[in-house]
Structure 1
Amino acid sequence: MRHQQILDKLAARGAVQALDWEVAHRVRQQMYARPAAREELACKVIIPILARWRCLLDGDDALPSRKNVVRVALATVLHKYGFQDADITAQAVTAIDELNRDVVLSDAFERQSDDIKKFLSAPPLPLTRKPSVSRPTTFLRAGDVLSIELGGRFHAAYVWGVSGFNETPRLEFYAGTFTEPPTMSDLMRRRAARPAAHARLHVSGLTYLPDPAQQVKAVAAAYPEGPRGSESAHGPGYTVTDVISLQQHMAALFGPAGTR
């Protein structure tokens, strides 16, 4: 049994590709930062990955079958990169049974279900080197207005442009947070978040819209005006980050979830 064999059977290419890039990039980033104990490295990888994908897993607008496929994909991708979490693995095992009960995937998946469960339950092989990561890409475009959820709170961002060859969007956050996804009526004439140096970000890994994790949702497209008070697309420089570390920037800019 190989990890890719399991992932191919899930018939969820977008979610699998997003998870694989995010986990590999996070692992590589943390391994570059400084040597860490295996348990510490696992926490720095698993906790922020879960915070992003809980938008789908704990949300009300995704089908149970979709959630179960992602549960299996999450356990498999973590296992691939040398990590295992008891709760995530247990949820994946239950998800496999539910996917088979509801006849969601192929006969081949059902036939190999016991082997998949055993494979994911076995200790993963620890990584011996930093994982390779493909060049980031994005389908976002200048003028996109986004709602980004974190910890049950919603934030709005404007895409000033895309850098490289469709590689990374340049975002600027609007001021304030919301208890539900904002609309353009909420954002018209709304000021840019401050300080500007923390509100303007180059974000790699923010690839798909619709977002497979359902953390990022479209509010508008090709909207001609950014947040009020912004120094335009050529104002203060942008902080380089990625879709997982973005969550730390949001918490630093807006405060811990639960504050406004």
Structure 2
Amino acid sequence: MKHQQVLDKLAAREIVQAMNEDVARWTGRQMSYRGLSHAEVERAVVPPLLARWRCLLDDADAPAQDVGWVALATLLHKYGFQDGAVTTGALASVDGLNRRVVLSDAFERQSPAIKALLRSAPTPLTRRPRSPRTVTFLRPGDVVSVRLAGRFHAAFVHELHGANEFPVIEFYAGSFSRAPTMAQLADRPAARAGGRARFGVVGLTYLPDPARQVVALASGHSQAPYGDGPQAGDGLWTLTDIIELPQVTAGLFDADRE
């Protein structure tokens, strides 16, 4: 049983493609740091990826959750990683997909081989994986809700970098217990942490987001978060990745919670 055979049988091309892009991009970035052991790379890869896909894995309907667990375990294994909790979740999800008759008869017949693959020791990569081309389907004027560490935050897309490579966003001040409405964002200032913060976010690609972390609130919106533009010395924006957004935005939303 090959990894791609498992992924093809999940019949979830959008989830598999987006998750593979995240795993490949983040794995390549961690492997670029010299001197890290495979175990250190694995520890740097798995928890942030779990956080990125947590909305799908925890909050989606049962079939989508099951597909997500199997896809994540398979892709981690493909790139040389294995996590006990992810593997356990994936093995249970194989049974769940079969019990609910979600996928094909071929998936059910080959479930023992799928489980055997996921239980087996993965082969560590000897070189960085090829990174997928960065592209975004967001557009200037889009307003999105981004779930970070269990809270919801709104962001405005100012521009796209390069040939639609990634969006440059700015967060509205405050955090919310659920995705905010546009009425809640009216005349709301920009989030600040020392200076006004804008981010170029690689991996902020799809709407709807297969990971369900990012939700569209509006498109073609003309009003950015209230406040002046970047000041001298602030820099125009900070380059980051959607997987590390919880870290780079820490402290940005502490003032207001709604």
Does the 8 A contact of 2:70 with 2:93 survive in 1? yes
Identify the residue that residue 134 of structure 1 maps to in structure 2: 132
C-alpha distance in 2 between matches for 1:156 and 1:39: 35
Identify the residue that residue 254 of structure 1 maps to in structure 2: 253
C-alpha distance in 2 between matches for 1:159 and 1:230: 16
1:195 deviation in Å? Answer: 3.5
Q: Structure 2 matches for 1:178-217, cutoff 5 A? A: 178-195=176-193, 199-217=197-215
Amino acid in the other structure paired with 2:138: L
Identify the residue that residue 239 of structure 1 maps to in structure 2: 238
Q: Structure 2 matches for 1:61-210, cutoff 5 A? A: 62-195=60-193, 199-210=197-208
Could you say if the C-alpha distance between residues 195 and 252 of structure 1 is closer, same or farther in structure 2, counting changes exceeding 3 Å? closer
1:196 deviation in Å? Answer: 7.2
C-alpha distance in 2 between matches for 1:198 and 1:83: 38
Amino acid in the other structure paired with 1:127: L
* SS of equivalent to 1:154: strand
Amino acid in the other structure paired with 1:99: L
Does the 8 A contact of 1:210 with 1:216 survive in 2? yes
How many residue pairs align between the two structures? 254
Give the TM-score taking structure 1 as reference length.
Answer: 0.93
Amino acid in the other structure paired with 2:50: L
Unaligned runs of 5+ in 2: none
1:223 deviation in Å? Answer: 0.5
RMSD: 1.8
* SS of equivalent to 1:246: helix
Taking only the aligned residue pairs, the percentage that are identical comes to: 53
Q: What per-residue deviation string (whole Å, max 9, x for no partner) do you get for residues 164-214 of structure 1?
A: 222101101111111111111111100011147562011111111111111
Amino acid in the other structure paired with 2:145: S
Moved over 3 A (4+): 195-198
C-alpha distance in 2 between matches for 1:183 and 1:259: 14
* SS of equivalent to 1:189: coil
Give the TM-score taking structure 2 as reference length.
Answer: 0.93
Identify the residue that residue 216 of structure 2 maps to in structure 1: 218
